[in-house]
Structure 1
């Protein structure tokens, strides 16, 4: 470490984290054994000034702690959508078509029931919905699982 800027200046948590990270790299490179790493880590935790922190790294090559700049923020993890929340546009075309046909069929059944006097036609949209779920429902679940697997891989 060349010259420490303002060795009497107090340090904060970000400088201690930077120093501990640098010590970890020295440990993984084999420059420090586990006991010496523990001793130096304790000195880093107890250090109050830049000079005290620089003494820990006096006999070590780079990397050294970074003074005055906070460590980079960790990348935000992408939170997956809840399993029940699926956008309408993510649904398969067959399911969107059958959903769009339901109100039309229901209105048609009401008109047919009123004009002919046969009210059981009102059940046709519900029967169609059950039929559509039986035909296309399992494919939709399979498509959703495949899409979720692709998202998790990337």
Structure 2
């Protein structure tokens, strides 16, 4: 819509969005002190009841053009700079430090269950077995040392 006071095609019907836009311009005029609260209420009701663009013309005849005003100057900030992302040296995916790779990971994950089975197995089936079967739980850290222990030296040399 080029102007409310002098529309290009006064016979065209208005959409709901155009009616609300006209009411918004009336509210701006009231905020600027060009309309009183009573005038705003009357003109807003008329704008919402308008059918064609020509119906809006009398509402804006005594107001300045509703042309968009230039925006206030803004303080520009320096552009953000980003550091480049280094290229990965190793292939993407999961790398294991375990001796034997994923097999070593699997052995380490199963070691507590194996120790528990050995604890109960020897505890129930060997006479006096519970006295010494707790020693099987030492298999868990020993397995960890065997599987992961060698990886520390290779990590330092990289």
TM, length-normalised to structure 1: 0.47
- Higher share of residues assigned helix: 1
Which protein has the larger Cα radius of gyration, Structure 1 or Structure 2? Answer: 2
